[in-house]
Amino acid sequence: MSTLTITTIQTSLYWEDKQQNLQMLEQKIKSIKERTEVIVLPEMFSTGFSMKPEQLAEEMNGEAVSWMKRIAVEKRAIITGSLIIKDGEDYFNRLIWMQPDGKYGYYDKRHLFAYAHEDQHYSSGNKRLIASVKGWKINLQVCYDLRFPVWTRHNFAATEGNPEYDLLIYVANWPERRNHAWKTLLQARAIENQCFVVGVNRVGKDGNEIYHSGDSCVVNPMGELLYTKEHDEDIYTITLHKQDVDDVRTKLPFWKDGDKFMILND
């Protein structure tokens, strides 16, 4: 059965300084000695969680997207994380899934964090992105999406009664003062969807003096922690086995009793 090797990069970010962040992240990525297939960066990895898209946004041919394309080619690995993107007249907190062949997919954050006025500066996405690699299906999400389980729940009606994906990835700028929710919900998403979950968060204070403790996690389909790290910067590589997902779903086929539903977009 297929394996998938993933590297998580938990790091501090330079506040609203794209060049510094890209240079720093490139050094960290080049330091990865193990063979890896997917490298996961935090939310808004080139700027931090900023509410200044008018000043900081780039289009899809911009510097950070081009950087992702170059690094993916050089490292021969998929690079994913979110950026501030301008598309037409709208701004998005956009997760990009950049493949080594230069092809990419993207997901625009669905749930905007109104508590920090994200909804006043960005437009909400309305489509999920489930990527495919080596026989794995991967559901890609951003930070606050974690609090909304319906958005990540398998839509069995769309897949003839089968689970939609094997792995959930969340990229985040999740504050330390709510880290209990972060860790608990990552495990809950793994348990209820019987899948692996990878959550990558930043560390350190941002430009608003909000502290982030990281607590990046890898969780197995039973909800058990395979890895977590708090406070410190860390680069961690792990190989996941798809057989583990299949075994859990076969021995404990709870997914078959899931509710059928439709998500209506506004």
Q: Identify the structural domains of the chain with CATH numbers, from first to last.
A: 3-257 (3.60.110.10)
Percent of the chain with pLDDT over 70: 97
Rg (CA), the chain: 17
Q: What is the DSSP string of 226-257?
A: EEEEESS-EEEEEEEEHHHHHHHHHHS-GGGG
Burial call 160-198: b when 16+ CB within 10 Å, e when fewer: eeebbbbbbbbbbbbbbeebeebbebbbbbbbbbbbbbb
Instruction: Check whether 18 has a pLDDT greater than 80.
Output: yes
The model's pTM: 0.97
Section 159-184 average pLDDT: 94
Distance (Å, whole) CA 214 – CA 205: 11
Tell me the pLDDT tens digit for each residue of 23-59.
999 999 999 999 999 999 999 999 999 999 999 999 9
pLDDT in tens, 71-90: 999 999 999 999 999 999 99
pLDDT of residue 1: 62
% of the chain with per-residue pLDDT over 90: 92
Active-site positions read 43, 109, 143
Mean pLDDT of 169-196: 98
Name the average pLDDT for the chain.
96
The pLDDT tens digits of the residues spanning 98-118 come to 999 999 999 999 999 999 999
* Nearest alpha-carbon partner for 189 in 225, 219, 159, 232: 219
pLDDT confidence tier of residue 67, bands split at 50, 70 and 90? very high
Q: Which residue's structure tokens are 């950070």?
A: 64
pLDDT confidence tier of residue 162, bands split at 50, 70 and 90: confident
pLDDT of residue 260: 78
Q: How confident is the model at residue 257 (pLDDT cuts 50, 70, 90)?
A: confident
Q: Decide if 40 contacts 80 (C-beta within 8 A).
A: yes
